[in-house]
Amino acid sequence: MKARVTVTLKAGVLDPQGQAIEGSLKGLGFPGVASVRQGKVFDLVLEGTDVEAARSQLTSMCEKLLANTVIENFAIEISN
Give the phi and the psi of residue 42 in degrees, each rounded to 5: -120, 125
Q: Which of 12, 13, 16, 35 binds a second copy (CB under 8 A)?
A: 35
CB-CB contact of 3 with 54 (8 Å): yes
- Quote the least distance from Cβ 70 to a second copy, whole Å: 19
HSE of 5, CA atoms in CB hemisphere, 13 A: 21
Give the phi and the psi of residue 8 in degrees, each rounded to 5: -130, 155
51 binds a second copy (CB under 8 A): no
Smaller CB distance to a second copy: residue 15 or 70?
Answer: 15
Q: Which of 19, 57, 59, 68 binds a second copy (CB under 8 A)?
A: 57
Q: Which of 12, 14, 45, 52 binds a second copy (CB under 8 A)?
A: 45
